[in-house]
């Protein structure tokens, strides 16, 4: 029998938001859409620099995580990168 976790990846998605007030509503809608693969979220406003940083711990297929980061990457004034565990 196939191992169901073999097609899933664990990773971290780093998001830097340069104009938080402009994109938070859209960002939260996307994160809500992918809530099933998000197992942890840490968000820090960095007021001194006028930006926010969010890190997500994700557990999903490469396609699911790629779709999440692709949608986030389409938002203006936002940078997103993903890194995966080597297991």
Strand partners, 81: 14
| Cα 81-67-58 angle, rounded to 5 deg | 60
CATH number of the CATH domain containing 49: 3.30.70.1150
Residue range 26-75, pLDDT digits in tens: 999 999 999 999 999 999 999 999 999 999 999 999 999 999 999 999 99
Mean pLDDT confidence for 3-20: 85
Q: How many domains does the chain have?
A: 1
pLDDT, residue 7, reads: 84
pLDDT, residue 2, reads: 45
pLDDT, residue 6, reads: 53
Calpha distance 53→65 (Å, rounded): 18
pLDDT, residue 87, reads: 73
pLDDT, residue 43, reads: 96
Which residue range(s) make up the domain with 79?
4-84
């Amino acid at each position: 029998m196939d191992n169901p976790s073999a097609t899933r990846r664990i990773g971290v998605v780093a998001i830097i938001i340069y104009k938080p007030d402009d994109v938070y509503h859209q960002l939260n809608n996307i994160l809500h859409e992918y809530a099933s693969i998000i197992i942890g979220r840490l968000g820090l406003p960095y007021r001194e620099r006028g930006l926010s940083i969010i890190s997500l711990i994700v557990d999903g297929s490469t396609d699911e995580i790629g779709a999440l980061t692709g949608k986030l990457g389409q938002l203006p004034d936002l940078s997103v990168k993903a890194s995966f565990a080597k297991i």
